[in-house]
Structure 1
Amino acid sequence: MAVRKLAVLSAGLSQPSSTRMLADKLTSATVSRLEEAGIETEVTTIELRDIAHDIMNNMLTGFPSPKLDAAIETVTGADGLIAVTPIFTTSYSGLFKSFFDVIDNRSLTDMPVLIGATAGTARHSLALDYSLRPMFTYLHAVVVPTSVFAASEDWGSGADQIKTLPERIERAAGELAGLVAVSDRSSRVDDPFALDPSFSPTGGFQAD
């Protein structure tokens, strides 16, 4: 049986969190779809709250801790990524963005990615398309067409809410599973047009 590596990022700050709950549901649905295709999945879930200090120290010093380095390697070495963030002030959380700020901006080239987000109200649902999707497009990842947003009412007891969220999860999971099934980490190449991460128009010094 073929084996694929799936990395899951949850940027929820509380414990338990609706962000982690959504990440788990997306993971379970994706794994089920891959199993149906005869593909075994090795899943590694990363709670960014557990490495928040490591991320900040890396931003200040330029050097990752062993714990952060392992998380980065897990994400960049995966066949597919599920990334879920809470929405704060109409965009992804600072912790979520900071993690992607410290990884090489070429390391997610051709990576299949499923994006998800949570918030207290459905008014923030467009953040997936104007914040998360552009960021992963900039990183040259392959973002699946269906993104999944869950507001507080989506976890309620209403019949419409119970039906709608699982449908979105299943559709997105099917799209990701299809890409992960044919993903080949060894065939990925760096973007030949990407700037070197150390490039600076000021002669090599990083601006604050």
Structure 2
Amino acid sequence: MSQGERTIAVVTAGLTTPSSTRLLADQLAAGVRDALDGRGVPHKLVVIELRDHAHDLTNNLLTGFPTGALREVLDTVVRADALIAVTPTFSASYNGLFKMFFDVLDDKALVGKPVLLGATGGTERHSLVLEFALRPLFAYLQAVVVPTAVYAASSDWGPHAAALKARVDRGANELADVLTNQAPKPPTDPFENPTPFENLLQQ
């Protein structure tokens, strides 16, 4: 690892190949990559497909011990400087595979670690899963979750792709700010520099 290099673990819990969950994870990872490139920060992105470790996760829950491949994945998340975590929405919450992974991860592994959250679903009405399911989980794990979490419904992949990209970029820049210890840029206030009243009268 080069000096100053940041490692970002990208955990995705999609069940199919390809999946919209992996697609969103890739977009978030690309957004963070671009944000860190713009800051001149060397980095490494490590993508973890939980579906590849489903059997090992089940065995870990039954035995209490991770096997070789899963042990390596858990160590990657523990050592990472930041985490991107994306899940599909099942029954108005994260799916069981996502929950299993964070159940077997040491409960101190994410203390103080910057995290960018994402979720996918068939309809926009499940978007609050980020706030009432994912944020409480990562608050319990004492992670530092950035303000913007990104939800992508089926409709976001069509004509509304630009709106999704804007959310992705905002969340990615917030994670990059935390990683580089930069204060986030405040939103532009349209009333910060109002036109003087006398000038309005002259128009």
Give the TM-score, by structure 1 length: 0.85
Q: Which structure has the larger Rg?
A: 2
Q: How far is 1:31 from its partner?
A: 0.8
What amino acid is the match of 2:108?
R
Aligned equivalent of 2:12: 10
| 1:127 is aligned to 2:129 | yes
Supply the AA of the counterpart residue of 1:37.
R
Alignment correspondent of 1:55: 57
C-alpha deviation, 1:72, in angstroms: 0.5
Equivalent in the alignment of 1:36 = 38
* Secondary structure in structure 2 of the residue aligned to 1:105: coil
Structure 1 segments unaligned to the other structure (5+ residues): 184-208
Q: Deviations over 1:17-46 (max 9, x none)?
A: 000000000000101111111101111100
Shift of 1:52: 0.4
Q: Equivalent residue of 1:5, what SS?
A: strand
Q: Please state whether the residue corresponding to 1:58 is helix, strand or coil.
A: helix
Matched positions, count? 180
| 2:141 equivalent in structure 1 | 139
The Cα shift of 1:182 comes to 3.7
1:132-191 CA distance string (max 9 Å, x none): 0000000000000000000000001x2xx12210000000000001112249xxxxxxxx
Q: Deviations over 1:53-102 (max 9, x none)?
A: 00000000001001111010111110000000000010000000110000
Give me the CA root mean square deviation: 1.1
SS of the residue 1:2 aligns to:
coil
Residue pair 1:29, 1:173 contacting (<8 A) in 2 also:
yes
Separation in structure 2 between the aligned mates of residue 27 and residue 182 of structure 1, nearest angstrom: 19
The answer for the alignment partner of 2:105 in structure 1 is: 103
Give the 3-state SS of the residue equivalent to 1:108 in structure 2.
coil
Give identity over the alignment, percent: 53
Matched residue, 1:188: none
Partner amino acid, structure 2, of 1:7: A
Q: CA deviation at 1:2?
A: 2.7
Give the TM-score taking structure 2 as reference length.
0.87
Q: Which segments of structure 1 move beyond 4 Å, counting only runs of 4 or more? A: none
